[in-house]
Amino acid sequence: MSIDLTETSITEAVQKTFDGAEDERVKELFVCLVQHVHDFAREVRLTGDEWFKAVDFLTRVGEVTTPTRQEFVLLSDILGVSVLVDLINHESGSSATDSTLLGPFYVEGRPAVENGADISGGVEGTPLFFRGTVVDTDGKPVAGARVDTWHSDGDGFYDVQMPEKLHDRLAMRALMTTDDEGRFWYRSIAPRYYPVPTDGPCGEILRTANRSAMRPEHLHFWLHAEGFEPLITMLFRRDDPYLEHDAVFGAKRSLVVDFVHHEAGETAPDGTRMDEPFQNVEWTFVLLPQGG
Ligand code: BEZ
Ligand code: FE
C-alpha cells in the first residue's frame, strides 16, 4: 500500500489488498473485477455526478427488491449478463435441451401437485394442456425427475404481480414428478407475451434507451433429477411477434414449440370433451449426465 496514488497506480494498490484472500477463486474474481471497473471509469472519464447517480440507481434497485420482486435479477437480465453467464456455462447445440435464464418470477413456495392437475389456480383463460417427457441423452426415460413450471396468464401477468386479485395465492406454477416413463403432464391456461416490469429502476434504463420491454410468450421449466445436471429452460411459442426481440435475450430457436390450437368440441389429451377452444403443447426434455 502506498500514499500519493495516481489514476493509474490505484488499480494495483487495490488489487494487492486481496493478496490475503484464502480462496484463490475469490481473489481472482476481485482482482479482475477491480481491473475492469477501474478501466471502465478511466475509459469513459466517469464524473463524480455520474458515479453518484449510479450508486443512487443501485440503492433504488435494492429498495424495491423483495423475495417476489427481484429487481437485481431483472437488472442482470436486461443487461444480458444472465444469458451471458448461461452461455458461458452451458454449451448450446449439444444433444441435451438448451438452457436459458431463470428470470425473476420463480417462487420457492410453489405447490407440489400430481400429474394431470389443473395448475391455473382458478385464473381464467384459454385452457392449455402440457405433456412433457424427460429423457437422458440416449433417449431413456428419466423417472422421478422433479419439474418446476411457471408462466403468466393470458394478459401476460404472473401470480406475484396480481396480489390483490389473487389475495396473495400462488397460481400458474407447480412442482411435478415424472412417472416411470419419464412423463409429466398438467392443465393450465395459455400464457401471453408481456413486458418485463418497468415500474422500477430498470424501467428507467429501458426508457432512456428507447428499448422494447417485451418478452415473447413462453412457459418456464426447471428440472432436477438425480445423476443429471439441473436444467433451467423455457419453451417459446413459434408464431410469437417478439421472438426475435426478447428484451432479456433469452429466446432460442431450439426452444421454439408449437402451441397447437384446437376448436371447441374436440377432445383434450386428458379425455375431456372441451366446450371451448384450447391449446396443446408437447415437448421432450433431454438432460445431461452430471458432470457431462
Ligand atoms: C421471465 O421470463 O419471467 C422474465 C425474465 C426476465 C425478466 C423478466 C421476466
Ligand atoms: Fe417469464
- 212: CA distance to ligand 1 center in Å? 13
Kindly state if the Cβ of 173 falls inside 6 Å of ligand 1.
no
Do residues 83 and 116 share a domain?
yes
Q: 228: closest CA among 130, 143, 103, 150?
A: 143
Q: Is 105 in the pocket of ligand 1 (CB under 6 A)?
A: yes
Residues 89 and 41 in one domain: no
Q: Both 47 and 135 in a single domain?
A: no
Question: Residue 59 contacts by C-beta under 8 Å, 6 or more apart in sequence?
Answer: none
Same-domain status, 179 and 242: yes
Report yes or no on 1 lying in a domain.
Answer: no
| 117 plus 15 within the same structural domain | no
Grid cell at residue 285: 426434455
Contacts of 228 (CB under 8 A, 6+ apart): 136, 142, 145, 287, 288, 289, 290
74 in ligand 1 pocket by Cβ < 6 Å? yes
Measured in degrees and rounded to the nearest 5, phi and psi for residue 200 equal -115, -170
What letter does residue 160 receive in the DSSP assignment? Answer: G
Which residue's CA is minimally distant from atom 2 of ligand 1? 103
Q: Are residues 38 and 122 in the same domain?
A: no
Name the residue at shortest CA distance from atom 1 of ligand 1: 103
Residue owning grid cell 374436440 = 266
The per-residue pLDDT for 292 is 67
pLDDT tens for each residue of 16-62 = 999 999 999 999 999 999 999 999 999 999 999 999 999 999 999 99
**Which atom of ligand 1 lies nearest, measured to the CA of 102?**
5
With a 6 A CB cut-off, is 231 part of the ligand 1 pocket?
no
Residue 205 lies in a domain: yes
Q: Which ligand is nearest to the CA of 74?
A: 1
- Could you say which of 21, 42, 64 is where a domain stops? 64
User: Does residue 216 have its Cβ closer than 6 Å to ligand 1?
Assistant: no
Structural domain contains residue 249: yes
Domain limit, last residue, from 45, 64, 83: 64
What is the number of domains present in the chain?
A: 2
**Residue whose CA lies nearest to ligand 1 atom number 3:** 103
Domain extent at residue 59: 9-64
**Which residue carries 424495491 as its cell?**
64
Where is the domain boundary, 22, 48, 64?
Answer: 64
DSSP states of 60-87: HHHHH-BTTB-HHHHHHHHTTHHHHHHH
27: amino acid identity, one letter: K
Residues 6 or more apart whose Cβ sits within 8 Å of residue 155 = 192, 194
Grid coordinates standing for 53? 447517480
Residue 227 placed within a domain: yes
C-alpha cell at 76: 442482470
In degrees and rounded to multiples of 5, residue 72 shows phi and psi of -65, -40
Q: How far is CA 71 from the centre of its chain?
A: 13
Q: Does residue 4 form part of some domain? A: no
Looking at the fold, whether 31 and 119 belong to one and the same domain comes out as no
Burial of 173 (0-12, 13-18, 19+ CB in 10 A): buried
Q: Is there a single domain that holds both residue 94 and residue 226?
A: yes
Same-domain check for residues 127 and 260:
yes
| One domain for residues 27 and 93 | no
Model's pTM, two decimal places?
0.92
Q: Is 78 in the pocket of ligand 1 (CB under 6 A)?
A: no
Query: Is residue 2 situated within a structural domain?
Result: no
In a domain, residue 292? The reply is no
Closest ligand 1 atom to the C-alpha of 103?
5
Low-confidence spans in the chain with pLDDT less than 50: none
- Domain of 80, CATH number, reads 2.60.130.10
What does each C-alpha distance from 109 to 125, 147, 164, 195 come to in angstroms?
23, 14, 18, 24
Q: Name the one residue in this structure whose C-alpha cell is 389475495.
A: 167
Question: Residues 40, 130: one domain?
Answer: no
Together in a domain, 171 and 111: yes
Residue 3 lies in a domain: no
Of all protein residues, the one whose alpha carbon is nearest to atom 4 of ligand 1 is: 103
